[in-house]
Every structure is written in C-alpha cells, then in structure tokens.
C-alpha cells in the first residue's frame, strides 16, 4: 500500500526518500491473502494480484559521507569516532537538535536517517560487501576536518522538503513525444521547464563540455577551427540520408565515424554524447539517435533537453491534474487485491481493494509487476544512483547549470553511464548542493556498476585524492526493473485488463508515451489521444446531476501516464 503516487515515476523529498528507503529496508511482509469470495456474484471468480513493491527495487545501498551534525558540535562531541555506525540502533540521541522542530512524521524519518548514517544495506545476503565498506567509515570521518564549511546531514534533513528526488532519471527531448504530447494536450500549462544547459562527457579522466549547438561550437576552446568545421559539416550532413550512409548499412556507426576522419575528439563527442550509443551500434540506429538529438537542438535552447522544475515526478502529476479536472479520482493507501472476472465473458467486472470494497469497472489498467509471472525469464535491471554533492562536476561562470553527462564504459565489462546533474534552480535540491542521477543498464548491482564512476568523478572516501572534485554528501544506490523488456501480452488476463510496463532505460520518454497511446487506443479506438484540454474559462461547472460516483477508479499507485488519460475519457 503506497502512500505516494506514480509508483517508480514518483518524486520524493529527502525525508520522503528516506522513508521510501526504510520501507524497502524492512522485511517484506508476507501478504495476507484474504478470501473475498463472499463478495462474488453468480458466475464470477477472483483473480488475485501480486504485490509489486518487493520486485521492482533491489540492491538498495545508502552512504552518507558528510558529518552528521554541525561542525562545531561534531568536533566537540564525537568527531574522531570511527565506530559511529554503532549508533545505528541507538537512534534518538544522535539526532541533531533541529529535528525537534519537525513534525512527527519527519521525526520518524529522521530516525531512519540517523540509522543510515554511514550505510544502509538492504541486501542482507552480501555480508562480504558490508565488510569492504567498513573501512570507508573511518575515511569518511577523517574528511570531517574540512577546509570549507560542508553541508551536514542534519542540514540535508532539515531542508529535506526542498529536495525533489526522482526514482527515475530521464530528460525530455525538445522534439520528443512527451513534449509534443504536453503541448498538444495543453497539459503543459501545469508545469514549468528548464533547459539542460550543457552536455558534458567524461573523457581521459576529465569532464569536458561537448559542443553540440552552433553557439557551443563557436565558443568551444577545445576544438581547433578545422575540427569546428568538420563537426558542423558532419552534423549538417547527417540530417539527410545519403548514399554514403547506405553503403555502411549494417555496419557499426563507429566504423562510419572513423572513416569520416573526424579525429578522436569529435568521434568521442559524436558517438558517446550526441548519438549516445555504444561502439557496436549499427549505423542506422546511430544516425537515427544523432538526428533525434539534433532535431531537438535549438528549439528551447542550446541543448536538446528539457527538465521539469520540481523533478520528473511532476509529469505524471500534471496528467493527473488534467484528469482530475474531468473527474478522475485517485486513492492513496489503497491497493487492489483482486479482480472480479465474469466467467462467461472473461471480462473484469470489478476490482476488490484491500479493505474489501468492491469497485465495478469497465476497463482496468495495471502495471505488469502486479500480474507478473515471477518465474518467467529474469528481468532486465537498471542500476541507479542518486547523489547529493556539494559542487558541479564542471564548475563554470554560472552555478546554475543543468548538465547531462555521458560516461563511456570505465572498463571493458562496465556499462555506459548517463549522469544528470541538477542545480538548485531546478527546485530539486537546496542551494549549495547538486542532485546527481546516474543510470545504466545493470551488469551487476547498482553499487558495482556505478561506484567506479562515482569515485572517478567525485571526491568520496574511496577517492580521497580527488580533492578538487565535488564531494558526495550522501548517496543511494539501487536497482530497478527495466520495463522495456517486459512482455505485455499473454498474461492470460481478462480482455479488458491492460498491462503496462514500468519505466525503461532510455533517456527519453518515447517508450512510455507510445505504450500509453497504444493502451488508450485499445480501450477507446474511436477517440483522439489526449486532445487539447479546453481553456478554464470555457468549462461550465454545474453542480447539477448529482449521482453516485462513477464505478471506475484508478488503481492505487498507478504510475503510467496512460492510466490517467484513460480515466479522463472514461467518464
């Protein structure tokens, strides 16, 4: 039973994220299967849904590298205390005094936070890793004699409400389907966006800016004038299919790039940062990705990407809000236990929630994890890390940069990592901090995949020599299911039950939007998908016609935009 909307598309305050972590840290409670057969009518049967939460998030690990309390306090009381992790269970007395001002719920989360102080491991089986992490503690403590005033954990918690931390890390292509949909449907009026201000890449041990727009290329100091010309010419020429492209059909994009004699610099930028593909990606895909990037460039700014203020969690909220205007209803802390299926028609007639309320419905949209066959092929995973840091990976004149950083594999078996660094003006973190999201396809656990990148790009107890890089104050690693591999058909479900996947691993929103549209069309083949919403002044509110609430209700925790649109039109 979730107390937040939008499942894995949700966005949390820092305190909210701590309770989310706590929830996963706790032993999953075996679900009591209640017998609701008394609610059945003649000719109906129950189909039980499974509990999704335990499956979608795994390998959760939390590290805190900043001092817990204010500097002075820390120094006076418990500075050289390498065994502080013992405080894990003695929660209350390590709490900073500031907490007492917070309300009860925050206080509880605070306790959790205190307990996580150094690390919080949710995978109890890997004791070995726990051991390897212990030495970090003393290192972390030794970092507490800083030359600059560092933001303390207490401060993070105190200001926790000002964080908006997404579980998913994506960006919006300025000419991608999400932006088109937001514009077409007028849902855009509910949100504000910021441009990603620069594209960066990690290369030869340094973070460099990738010149991709005309203005960037002009201003770039890393490129020679000849490189500038070559890059601009390549970017212009690749927009159209040429015979040369066709000649490389089926061969890797990299091979094509090599033959263009662009030089290492440009080749790196084009492959890793603009196309954002791997060395073995075929040319067709590489060119398509390059074009997608370039088409989005310059619509709103110097990079192809937008990011919603207050985080990506705003996007489902916006669609929900639109839906609510037309009568959509959302329920927190309710879960659907089972479906009521008419045996004759094999249609879902109603659902029964965890409190035994029978709610009739004509369509039912559900995320695959509720109906998943656990035994099926192992699911693909994404590795995620969320970092709160004290500086940008590439400091510049402005401290309000939103950066997309592409990081090629650090070593042979490692995946390509995409990193998004958000500044406080995106309203996702507090002044003086940056919120950094790392994402990749899992090769191992999130920690195994991403910690090497974190130690390279940041100053952590594991990389004590990188004094000049930003410090990680706090971070969390976790794996989540990659929904793009999920089979949406063939669950043997009633014909009016529609399965959608969770989020996918790509940077954009194309996959989710396409899925939402497909499901919508299955339900309402005659209707236009997300037509423009009317202006508020054109809506007639009449309090007449009071009838009982409509039968359909959105299921708890529905995270997929598609569901919102569905209820919008079901009325």
Partner 1 sequence: MHGRIKIKSTAQQEEEKRKEREKKLKIYVSARDTCFSKRKEGILDEEALQVTQQLLSSNPDFATLWNYRREILMHLETVKEKDEVQKIYEAELAFLESCLKLNPKSYGSWHHRCWVSARLPRPDWSRELSLCDRCLSLDDRNFHCWDYRRMVVKVSGVPVAQELGFTDRLIGSNFSNYSSWHYRSTLLPLLHPESPESPSPSHEPPQPSPSHSPQTQSHRVCEEQLLKEYELVQNAFFTDPNDQSAWFYYRWLLGRAEREEMISCVYVSRDEERVAVAFSRPVNAQSVSLLLVLDGQPQKVEWKSVHPRFKHSPVCICDLPPGTISDITNEHNLTVHWTEKYTHRDCALYTGRTESWCRDSATDQELFRSELSVEKTSVLQSELQSCNQLLELEPLNKWCLLTIVLLMRALDPLGYEKETLAHFQTLKEVDPMRSAYYSDLCSKFIIENTVLKMEYAEVRVFSITDKNLTTLCHLDQLLLVTHINLSSNQLQQLPPQFAMLQCLEVLEVDNNRIENLEGVYHLPKLEEVLLKNNKISALADLQPLASCPKLRRLDLRGNPVTQAANIESELTALLPSVTDLLL
Which is nearest to 165 in space by CA: 20, 367, 330? 20
Residue 569 — φ and ψ, nearest 5°?
-100, -5
> Is residue 1 a contact point for partner 1 (CB under 8 A)?
no
Taking CB under 8 A as the binding criterion, the range among 21-29, 323-331, 345-353, 460-468 that sits at the site for partner 1 is 323-331
User: For partner 1, which is the closer residue by CB, 223 or 287?
Assistant: 223
The interface with partner 1 within residues 209-228 (CB under 8 A) comprises 214-215, 217-219, 225-226, 228
List 4, 48, 326, 511, residue binding partner 1 (CB under 8 A):
326
Structure tokens at 230: 């070559």
Q: Is 309 in the site for partner 1 (CB under 8 A)?
A: no
| Of the candidate residues 43, 76, 90, 229, the single one contacting partner 1 (CB under 8 A) | 229
| Window contacting partner 1 (CB under 8 A); options: 81-89, 325-333, 494-502, 516-524 | 325-333
Could you say whether residue 232 binds partner 1 (CB under 8 A)?
yes
Q: Which is nearer to partner 1, 196 or 453 (CB)?
A: 196
Closer residue to partner 1 (CB): 14 or 269: 269
Residues 542-561 as x/- pattern, contact with partner 1 by CB under 8 A:
x--xxxxxx-----------
Q: How far is the CB of 538 from partner 1 (least distance, A)?
A: 5
3-state SS, one letter per residue, for 69-119: CCHHHHHHCCCCCCCHHHHHCCCHHHCCHHHHHCCHHHHHHHHHHHHHCCE
CB 539 to partner 1: min, Å:
5
Residue that is written with structure tokens 């499974």 in the block: 50
The answer to whether 355 contacts partner 1 (rule: CB under 8 A) is no
CA 251 to chain centre: 33
Q: How far apart are CA 54 and CA 51, in angstroms?
A: 7
Q: Which is nearer to partner 1, 135 or 551 (CB)?
A: 551
Q: Please say which residue, 31 or 184, places its beta carbon nearer to partner 1.
A: 184
Output 344 or 544, the one with its CB closest to partner 1: 544
| Position 261 contacts partner 1 (CB under 8 A) | no
Q: Which of residues 14-53 bind partner 1 (CB under 8 A)?
A: none
DSSP result, 417-486: EEEEEE-GGGTSS-TT-EEEEEEEE-SS-HHHHHHHHHHHHSB-TT-TT-TTSPBEEEEEEEEEE-GGG-
CA proximity to 74, closest of 87, 60, 56: 87
Indicate which single residue of 43, 82, 431, 534 sits in contact with partner 1 (rule: CB under 8 A): 534
Among 80, 135, 327, 431, the residue binding partner 1 under the rule CB under 8 A is 327
Give the DSSP per-residue string, 485-516. G---S-S---TTEEEE----SSSSSHHHHHHH
Which helix H or strand E contains 15, and what residues bound it?
helix 14-25
In the complex, what is the shortest distance from the CB of residue 346 to partner 1, in angstroms, rounded to a whole number? 28
Q: Which range of residues in 100-108, 148-156, 264-272, 535-543 is near partner 1 by CB under 8 A?
A: 535-543
Task: Compare residues 229 and 373 and give the one whose CB is closer to partner 1.
Answer: 229
Return the DSSP state at 270: I
Q: Does 258 bind partner 1 (CB under 8 A)?
A: no
Count of Cβ atoms closer than 10 Å to residue 204 Cβ: 7
Secondary structure in 3-state letters for 399-414: CCCCEEEEECCCCCCC
Task: Output the CA–CA distances (angstroms, integers) from residue 554 to 49, 56, 502, in the order listed.
Answer: 15, 20, 17
> Does residue number 184 form part of the binding site for partner 1 (CB under 8 A)?
no
CA distance 466 to 469: 6
Stretch that binds partner 1, among 6-14, 21-29, 135-143, 324-332 (CB under 8 A): 324-332
Residue 239 binds partner 1 (CB under 8 A): no
230 binds partner 1 (CB under 8 A): yes
Give the integer Cα–Cα distance in Å for 420 and 73: 34
Residues 483-502 that bind partner 1 (CB under 8 A): none
Please state the φ and ψ torsions of residue 399, each to the nearest 5 degrees: -95, 10
C-beta closer to partner 1: residue 40 or 550:
550
Select 492 or 549, whichever has its Cβ closest to partner 1. 549
Summarize as ranges the residues that interact with partner 1 (CB under 8 A).
214-215, 217-219, 225-226, 228-230, 232-233, 325-327, 534, 538-542, 545-550, 571
């Amino acid at each position: 039973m979730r107390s937040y909307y939008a499942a894995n598309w949700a966005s949390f305050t820092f305190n909210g994220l701590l309770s989310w972590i706590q929830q996963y840290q706790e032993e999953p409670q075996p679900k009591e299967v209640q017998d609701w057969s008394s609610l059945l009518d003649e000719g109906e049967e129950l189909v039980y849904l499974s509990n999704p939460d335990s499956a979608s998030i795994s390998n959760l690990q939390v590290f805190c590298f900043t001092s817990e309390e204010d500097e002075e306090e820390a120094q006076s009381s418990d500075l050289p205390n390498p065994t502080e992790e013992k405080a894990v269970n003695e929660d209350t007395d390590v709490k900073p005094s500031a907490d007492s001002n917070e309300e009860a719920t925050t206080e509880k989360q605070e306790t959790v936070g205190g307990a996580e102080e150094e690390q919080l491991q949710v995978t109890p089986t890997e004791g070995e890793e726990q051991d390897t992490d212990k030495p970090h503690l003393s290192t972390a403590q030794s970092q507490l004699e800083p030359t600059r005033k560092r933001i303390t954990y207490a401060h993070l918690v105190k200001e926790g409400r000002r964080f908006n931390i997404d579980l998913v890390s994506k960006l919006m292509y300025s000419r991608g389907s999400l932006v088109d949909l937001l514009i077409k449907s007028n849902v855009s009026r509910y949100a504000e966006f910021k441009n990603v201000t620069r594209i960066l890449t990690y290369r030869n041990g340094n973070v460099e800016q990738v010149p991709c727009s005309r203005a960037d290329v002009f201003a770039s100091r890393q490129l020679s004038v000849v490189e500038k010309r070559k890059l601009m010419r390549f970017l212009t020429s690749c927009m159209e299919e040429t015979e040369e492209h066709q000649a490389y059909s089926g061969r890797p994009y990299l091979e094509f790039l090599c033959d263009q004699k662009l030089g290492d610099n440009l080749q790196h930028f084009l492959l890793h940062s603009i196309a954002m593909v791997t060395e073995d990606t075929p040319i067709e895909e590489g060119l398509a990705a390059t074009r997608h990037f370039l088409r989005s460039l310059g619509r709103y700014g110097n990079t192809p990407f937008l990011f919603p203020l207050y985080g990506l969690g705003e996007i489902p909220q916006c669609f929900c809000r639109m839906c609510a205007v037309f009568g959509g209803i959302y329920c927190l802390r309710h879960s659907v236990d089972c479906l009521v299926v008419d045996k004759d028609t094999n249609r879902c007639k109603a659902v029964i929630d965890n409190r035994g309320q029978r709610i009739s419905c004509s369509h039912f949209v559900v995320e695959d994890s509720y109906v998943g066959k656990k035994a099926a092929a192992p699911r693909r995973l994404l590795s995620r890390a969320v970092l709160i840091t004290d500086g940008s990976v590439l400091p510049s004149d402005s401290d309000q940069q939103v950066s997309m950083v592409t990081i090629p594999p650090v070593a042979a078996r490692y995946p390509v990592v995409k990193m998004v660094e958000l500044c406080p003006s995106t309203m996702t973190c507090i002044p003086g901090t940056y919120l950094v999201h790392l994402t990749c396809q899992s090769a191992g656990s999130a920690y195994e995949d991403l910690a090497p990148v974190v130690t390279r790009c940041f100053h952590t107890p594991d990389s004590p020599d990188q004094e000049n890089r930003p410090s990680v104050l706090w971070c969390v690693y976790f794996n989540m299911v990659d929904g793009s591999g999920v089979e949406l058909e063939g669950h043997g479900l009633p014909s009016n039950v529609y399965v959608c996947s969770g989020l996918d691993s790509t940077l954009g929103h194309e996959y989710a939007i396409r899925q939402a549209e497909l499901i919508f069309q299955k339900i309402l083949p005659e209707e236009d998908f997300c037509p423009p919403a009317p202006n508020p002044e054109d809506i007639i509110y009449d309090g007449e016609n009071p009838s009982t609430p409509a039968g359909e209700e959105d299921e708890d925790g529905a995270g997929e935009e598609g569901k919102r649109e569905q209820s919008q039109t079901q009325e």
